[in-house]
């Protein structure tokens, strides 16, 4: 019984990781704070709100590297999330 349960847990973890790996990157210029928080590792609601607030106050991000201008977002966070985020040309909000 424990072996079946263990195999089930492993299968569920594999499924979750597989789905997350194929998720499309989020456009940080158009995404809501909720979408940003879901997509970015180590970014919760408050940091995601800070990203949206910064975007509203300063305009669209030109590159994903501009994200480090947001207080609380550093190089490490940016590097962890480079595959999860993007800046789409022409999709500025």
Is 33 part of a structural domain of the chain?
A: yes
Is 88 part of a structural domain of the chain?
A: yes
Within 13 Å and on the Cβ side, how many CA atoms surround 26?
19
Number of structural domains (the chain) is 1
Residue 8: what pLDDT? 72
**Which pTM does this prediction carry?**
0.72
Burial of 69-83, coded b for 16+ CB within 10 Å and e otherwise, reads: ebeebeeebbeebee
> CA 86: distance to chain centroid?
9
Per-residue pLDDT tens for 14-71? Answer: 665 545 556 799 999 999 999 999 999 999 999 999 999 999 999 999 999 999 999 9
CATH of the domain at 54: 1.10.150.310
Domain boundaries, position 82: 24-93
């Amino acid at each position: 019984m424990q072996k079946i349960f263990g195999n089930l847990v492993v299968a569920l973890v594999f499924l979750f990781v597989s789905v997350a790996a194929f998720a499309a990157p989020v456009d940080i210029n158009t995404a809501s704070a909720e979408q940003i928080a879901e997509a970015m590792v180590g970014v919760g609601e408050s940091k995601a709100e800070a990203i949206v607030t910064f975007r509203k106050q300063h305009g669209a991000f030109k590159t994903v590297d501009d994200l480090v201008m947001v207080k609380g977002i550093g190089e490490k966070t940016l590097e962890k999330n480079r595959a999860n985020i993007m800046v789409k040309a022409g999709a500025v909000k």
